[in-house]
Structure 1
Amino acid sequence: MNLDHPVASSLLPVVLLIGIGFVAGRLKLIRGEAVRDLSNLVFLVLVQALLFRSMATAHLERLDLTSVALYYVVAGAMFFALLFMRGLNSRSAVLALASIFSNTLMIGVPLVQLAYGEAALVNLFTLISMHALVLLTLATIVIELLVAREQAAAGQAAPRHIALTVAQAVKNAVLHPVPLPIIAGFLYSLTGWGLAPVVERPLKLLGDAFGPVALVLVGVTLAQTAIGRHLKGALVISALKTVVHPLLMWAAGRALGLSGLPLTVMVVAAALPVGANVFLFSQRYHKAEDLVTASVAVSTVMAVGTVSVVMGLLTRV
C-alpha cells in the first residue's frame, strides 16, 4: 500500500496509536484500575476544551446547515432502526450509536483535506460543528429514557410519569459532558468577543491531546479485552458503520438529486470508522464496553480498505 495515499496516511496513525496503547496495556504500563481515571480525564477535561474552543471560535455565519441536514436524517433513521431491531434497551442504544458515529475529526479532516482539498473542508467542518451536539445529544436523551425505564422495571427507582421522565432525560442530556461545552461555546461565540490567546492556547493544547490520548486508551482497554469473544459482533458493527452507513447516505443523496462535492463529503464521512467518543460514551454508561472497544479498533483497520473502495466508487458515479 502506498503510505502517501490519503486513506493510508490518515488511518495508519490511528491504528498505530491504538497499537501503542495495546502494547502499554499488555506490558502493564497502565494498570486496569487507571483506565477509568484516564477515561474521566479524556471525557471530563480534554473533550470539554476541544468542544468549547471549536464552537467558541467557529464562524457560525459561514455554516451551510442545509448541506448536512440529510446526513443527520439518515444517521437518525439508521440509529432508531437498529435500536428497534436490537431491542429497546440502553445497551442497544450504545451499539446503535457505534454504528452511526464517525471519527470525523482525527481521520475525517486529514483524509478529506488530502483527497479533496480546502473546498471540501468547508462541508466537513459544517458537519463536525454539529456532529457531537446532534448525535450524542440524541443518544443521551434516548439512553437516559431507557435507563430510567430499566431502573423502574428493576425496582431501583419509582416509576414516573412519561413527561417527568422525558424532562429528566432532557435535563441529563443538556447537563452532560458533551452537549454542555458545545452549547456554552455556541452562546459565547454569539458575543463576538473571541478568545484571548492566554485562554485559547491552553484550550487548544488540551483539545489537541484528546484524540491521541483517547485512541491510546482504546488500545489499553483492548489489551484487557478478550477480543476473540467480541470479534463477530465487532465485525457486524464495523460493516454497518463503514459499508451500510455510506451506502444509505449515497442512496438518499442521489434520491434527492444531490451530486458533486457535497454528496461526496457526506458519503466519505459516513464511511469513516467508529469514533472514539462512542468508546467513552459506553464507559460512562457501563454498557457494552468491551464490544465497543473492539468495534473502534476493528472498524479502523477495516476502513483502510472500505474507505478506499468508497472513494474509488465515488469517482465513477
Structure 2
Amino acid sequence: MDHPVVSSLLPVVLLIVVGLVTGKLKLIRQEAVRDLSNLVFLVLTQALLFRTMSSVHVQDLDFEPVSLYFAVAAALFTVMLLVQGASSRAAVIALSGTFSNTVMIGIPLVGLAYGKDALVLLFTLISLHALVLLTFATVVLELLSAREQSAEADGPPRHPLKSIGLAVRNAVVHPVPMPIIAGLLYAQTGWGLPDVVDRPLQLLGNAFGPVALVLVGVTLSNAAIGRNLTGALVISAVKTLLHPALMALIGYAFGLRGMSLTVLVVAASLPIGANVFLFSQRYQKAEDLVTASVAVSTLVALVSVTVVMTLVPLIAG
C-alpha cells in the first residue's frame, strides 16, 4: 500500500467504484447524469482551470521539455484520428489515447516517487496540459462536427472557410479555453487572487476530480461494458503503454535525459483523465466506450505505470 503507484491509483479506483455502486442502487438516476455532467464541466472545471492558470507566470516556465511532450501527444492524436476515419467520434477516442490524469494521479505519484524537484516540471506540464490538448481537441472536434452537420443538412455545402471560422469561434467561446485564457491573462497582472475569491475557487476545483470520477462510475453502471471491453482495452494500451513508449523514444532522440525525461514518460503513462469523459458527454460521442476506457485504463495502470517506472531509468540515465 506504500508503493507510489498503488497509493495514487487506488483512491481513483475507489471513487469510480463508489459511483458504480451508487448507480446500481439507483441513488443517482441516469436521468440526472447529464445535469451532473454539466455541473462538473460548466462549474467545477471552470473554477479549476481559472485558478490553476491564475498563478502561471509565462516567463518562469521551461517550455522546451513540455513542448516535446505536446508534440508527441499531437502526433499520436493525429494518427489515431486518421486511422479511425477523421470523425468527431474518432477525435474523442483520439483524445482518450493522449490525455493523462496528471492532477489526481500524477501529482501524488510523482511527488512520492521523485520528490519536489520533479513536481516543478510536472506543474509546468499541468499548467499547459488543458490549454494545449483540450483546446487542440476542441478545435478539431468543432471542425469535424461542422463538416458532419454540413454533410447531413440539405442544400449547398457550407464554404470551407466559413466552416473553419465557425469552428474556431466555437472552440474559443467554449467552457475549456475561456477560463484558461482568462486565468492566464489575469496571472500576468501580478495581482494574485484575493482570499475571498481564491477559497471558493479552490473548494470548487478540489471537488472536480472526486465528483467527475464518481460520475464515471454512475455512467459505468448503465454502460454496456462487455460490448466495449475490447475497445477499452485497446485504448488503455495505447494510453498507458504506446504513449509513454513514444515519449521515451522521441524524448531520448531529442536529447532529454535524467529527471526531465523520467517525469514526462511517467506523465504519458498515466491513465485517461476525467476531462475526456466530460468531452464525450458534451459532444455525445463514444460515451460508453470512453467511460469504460477511463475505468479500464485506471485498473491497467496499476501494472503498466509500475512497469514504466521500472524501465524508464534504463534510458533516462
Which TM-score applies when normalising by structure 2?
0.98
Letter of the structure 1 residue corresponding to residue 212 of structure 2: A
Equivalences for residues 31-110 of structure 1 within 5 A:
31-110=29-108
- Structure 1 position 161, deviation (Å): 1.6
Q: Any idea what the Cα deviations from partners look like across 1:208-266, whole Å, max 9, x if unmatched?
A: 00000000000000001120110000000000000000000000011112110001011
Distance (whole Å) between structure 1 residues aligned to residue 260 and residue 159 of structure 2: 43
Distance (whole Å) between structure 1 residues aligned to residue 253 and residue 298 of structure 2: 29
Question: Identical aligned pairs, as a percentage?
Answer: 67
Which consecutive unaligned segments of at least 5 residues does structure 1 have? none
CA-based RMSD: 1.0
Q: Any idea what the Cα deviations from partners look like across 1:78-115, whole Å, max 9, x if unmatched?
A: 10111111101110010001000000010001100000
Query: 2:313 is matched with which residue?
Result: 315
Flag the 1:78–1:16 CA change in 2: closer, same or farther, 3 A.
same
Aligned length: 315
Query: 1:299 is matched with which residue?
Result: 297
Which consecutive unaligned segments of at least 5 residues does structure 2 have? none
Distance (whole Å) between structure 1 residues aligned to residue 209 and residue 20 of structure 2: 16
Query: 2:24 is matched with which residue?
Result: 26
Letter of the structure 1 residue corresponding to residue 268 of structure 2: A
Flag the 1:163–1:190 CA change in 2: closer, same or farther, 3 A.
same
Distance (whole Å) between structure 1 residues aligned to residue 150 and residue 56 of structure 2: 42
Letter of the structure 1 residue corresponding to residue 249 of structure 2: A
Query: 1:136 is matched with which residue?
Result: 134
Query: 2:215 is matched with which residue?
Result: 217
- Structure 1 position 158, deviation (Å): 5.5
Distance (whole Å) between structure 1 residues aligned to residue 58 and residue 103 of structure 2: 18
Distance (whole Å) between structure 1 residues aligned to residue 156 and residue 37 of structure 2: 31
Query: 1:124 is matched with which residue?
Result: 122
- Structure 1 position 62, deviation (Å): 1.9
Distance (whole Å) between structure 2 residues aligned to residue 158 and residue 279 of structure 1: 34
Distance (whole Å) between structure 2 residues aligned to residue 57 and residue 250 of structure 1: 30
Distance (whole Å) between structure 2 residues aligned to residue 115 and residue 47 of structure 1: 27
Q: Within the alignment, does 1:192 sit opposite 2:190 as a pair?
A: yes
Query: 2:232 is matched with which residue?
Result: 234
Q: Any idea what the Cα deviations from partners look like across 1:253-292, whole Å, max 9, x if unmatched?
A: 1111211000101100000000000000000000000000
Query: 1:175 is matched with which residue?
Result: 173
* Correspondence for 1:5 among 3, 6, 12: 3
Letter of the structure 1 residue corresponding to residue 92 of structure 2: V
Q: Does the aligned pair in 2 maintain the 1:151–1:157 contact within 8 Å?
A: no
- Structure 1 position 157, deviation (Å): 7.7
